[in-house]
Amino acid sequence: MRQLPHMNELQEKYGGKGLHIFTIYAQNHPVEHIRSLVKDKGIKYPLALSWQDEEQRCDMSSLPAVWIIGTDGKIAFTGKGSYEKVLEEQLAKVKYPGLGGVNVTPELESAAKAFAARDYAQALRLAEAAAEKSDASDATLAAAEAISERVADRLKALKNRAEVAEVENAWRLAEATWQVIERRFAKTDEAAEAAARLQKIKENKKAQLEMEAETAIHVLDRDLQFKEAAIEEWIDSYKKFAEKYKESVWAEKVKPAIERMEEDKKAADEEKKKAQK
């Protein structure tokens, strides 16, 4: 808990300079408890409820623990204690996040800063304006083209993510991605399209049901884990969920889990009977 204010400070200080903060909630508390914590502590960065480290690359022998992933994608720091020096060293390597390899000329610094701040619409406008000047150098023209290409790549990737998410009924992801496009490409045709897609999701009863079901199953899992519920309660709770949200894909997703739990319960009951004989 003592780290939370410091993480907020880092987010405010370095959030626009290439630092991305993600935290992992390691305690087994209900979702409502975690939501209250986020609100009460004013947490300004993403908080994950679960994670996987199959290769065991991250040291979690004690809490709190910190990992810094460097610009090369490798772990630059792990553990606890003083990590500010490593953080500063890694951030010093990133002048314009996302524009690695682009030779930014003085005429394009404002466009590069806008790109680093993820204001892609403004970055594109400034890059095009710099390229249109009659005295623009070859280096400026090349850099402006590179920035424009990076903007186009970001848009393509975001739209692809949103559209695939819709096809796969991952409506929460689709909604969040269209919101990103609307925000980062403000006052453009792309932002208008994103706003229209968001309105369609809002009016789509199936999409709203899927998002409600997704939230409900995650809350249910956390609550059952916190209570250390018996397998009978897990089975009963999952069956009630599947019935309530029977028109959703999430109802289908929990059915294999119900079957596995019922098989486990049956095996445990048989073992118990054998032990009693």
State how far the Cα of 134 lies from the Cα of 141, in Å rounded to an integer: 11
Average pLDDT estimate for 129-154:
95
Please report whether residue 183 resides in a domain.
yes
Kindly report, residue by residue over 212-226, the tens digit of the pLDDT: 999 999 999 989 988
Q: Which domain holds residue 170?
A: 106-203
Q: Are 143 and 108 in contact (CB under 8 A)?
A: yes
Whole-number Cα distances in Å, 113 to 3, 42, 66, 98, 103 = 29, 27, 28, 10, 13
Kindly report, residue by residue over 26-53, the tens digit of the pLDDT: 667 777 877 787 787 787 777 777 666 5
Kindly report, residue by residue over 79-101, the tens digit of the pLDDT: 766 778 888 887 777 778 788 77
Do residue 83 and residue 136 come from a single domain?
A: no
Do residue 192 and residue 122 come from a single domain?
A: yes
Do residue 27 and residue 53 come from a single domain?
A: yes
Asked whether the bond before 30 is cis by omega within 30 degrees of 0, the reply is no
CATH code where residue 49 lies: 3.40.30.10
Please report whether residue 100 resides in a domain.
no
Do residue 25 and residue 80 come from a single domain?
A: yes
State how far the Cα of 101 lies from the Cα of 108, in Å rounded to an integer: 14
Angle separating helix axes 84-92 and 3-14, nearest 10 degrees: 20
CA R_g for the chain: 24
Looking at residue 237, its pLDDT comes to 97
Please report whether residue 99 resides in a domain.
no
Pairing of strands 47-48, 23-24: parallel
Kindly report, residue by residue over 257-266, the tens digit of the pLDDT: 999 999 999 9
- Count of structural domains within the chain: 3
